[in-house]
Amino acid sequence: MPSDAPQNNYEFLYAGGDQNAYFFVTDREVAYQIKFVPSDYLFASQPTFQIQAFEISISVAENPAGGRVPADSLIPSTIAAIFFDFFQTHEQVVVYVCDTSDKRQSARARKFDAWFYAYSHVHLAKLNKIIPDGDKFTFISIILHDQHPYRNQVAAAFFELGEEEK
């Protein structure tokens, strides 16, 4: 784990696979799965350079007690530690798209922002975009290293997402 990664977190396991899966279990036996799914398709319209893009997915894999997952102060630092573990090269970018299925995407975007800024690394930049989708909005963020060899082009490509549909 990088030296700047949070140290007060749950132990996690990198399971790998096509979706770069990580797992951790809380003190209350709630199991989480964090995936970094290859998402190069997001930037397929950029043929002049290749963007190593991964969409991050955070989900509850198992909740034995059922119902709402209880608040846990170690979850944000664990997700940050996993993020730092995965994000170790300057060439990668991570995209976060807020789930819109239950109309809580705005709350998810606020929570992700809070986590990012609480645990952010000095060399990581985060850009946000809101894409209208019918009667709702999709909140999307991209995180990249400030030394990414194509950071300006990646930023421009990110802000073009969703524009081709208009």
Encode pLDDT of 97-136 as tens digits: 877 677 778 888 888 888 888 887 778 889 999 888 777 7
- Which CATH number is 85's domain given? 3.40.630
* Residue 24, φ and ψ in degrees, nearest 5: -150, 160
Query: Does any domain span residue 150?
Result: yes
Nearest to 93 by CA among 132, 140, 134, 137: 140
Residue 2 lies in a domain: no
| Predicted pLDDT of residue 2 | 46
Q: Does 16 map to a domain?
A: yes
Whether 138 is in a domain gets the answer: yes
CA-nearest of 79, 87, 96, 82 to 138 is: 96
> What is the dihedral angle through the alpha carbons of 2, 154, 76, 11, rounded to the nearest 10 degrees?
-40
Q: What is the DSSP string of 31-43?
A: EEEEEEEE-GGGG
Give tens-digit pLDDT for 60-85. Answer: 999 999 888 888 999 989 998 998 88
Query: Domain of 156?
Result: 12-165
- Domain membership flag for residue 72: yes
Question: What distance in Å separates the CA atoms of residue 158 and residue 149, rounded to the nearest whole number?
Answer: 15
Pairing relationship of beta strands 92-97 and 52-62 according to DSSP bridges: parallel
For the chain, how many structural domains are there in total? 1
Question: Does residue 5 lie in a domain region?
Answer: no
Query: Has residue 55 been placed in a domain?
Result: yes
User: What pLDDT does 1 receive?
Assistant: 42
Cα–Cα dist 49/66, whole Å: 46
**DSSP structural state of residue 82:** H
pLDDT at 4: 53
